[in-house]
């Protein structure tokens, strides 16, 4: 069974001839800091991506509500338009067969 301390001692003894003991530890510390920094940056990217996804969901829900409201507004406009067209047709019909077309048209509109 390998012991981590024993393995570290072997790595240090190997590196002492080339780099010196303190340089090896400095290199290991630098590698750890670099690894931690990269992991931190990746975590932030993932967090920002999830924030953007949540914002997109909120915007999509708002868009659905707007579409539903638009559909209701279009239905109301169509109903109002149909009422106006029906009133106009009644006024035309009343004016067409009368001696006083203006009076007949206005009377038909007032008596809806």
Sequence spans of domains, the chain: 4-110
Report pLDDT for 112: 46
Note the pLDDT tens digit of each residue in 50-68: 778 888 888 888 888 888 8
Which of 94, 6, 100 lies closest to 109 in space, CA to CA? 94
Which residues in 33-55 are b (16+ Cβ under 10 Å) and which e?
eeeeeeeeeeeeeeeeeeeeeee
Tell me which residue has tokens 């109002």. Answer: 80
**Dihedral (CA of 59, 65, 70, 73) sign:** negative
Is the pLDDT reported for residue 1 higher than 60?
no
Q: Look at residue 76 and tell me whether its pLDDT is greater than 70.
A: yes
Provide the token pair at 19: 């780099």
- Length of the chain, please? 112
pTM, rounded to two decimals: 0.40
């Amino acid at each position: 069974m390998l012991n981590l301390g024993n393995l570290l001692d072997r790595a240090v003894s190997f590196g002492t001839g080339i780099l010196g003991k303190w340089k090896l530890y400095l290199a290991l510390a630098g590698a750890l800091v670099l690894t931690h920094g990269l992991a931190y940056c990746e975590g932030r990217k993932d967090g920002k991506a999830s924030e953007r996804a949540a914002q997109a969901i909120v915007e999509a829900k708002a868009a659905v509500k707007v579409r539903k409201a638009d559909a209701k507004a279009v239905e109301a406009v169509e109903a109002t338009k149909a009422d106006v067209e029906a009133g106009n047709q009644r006024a035309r019909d009343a004016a067409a067969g009368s001696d006083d077309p203006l009076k007949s048209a206005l009377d038909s509109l007032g008596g809806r």
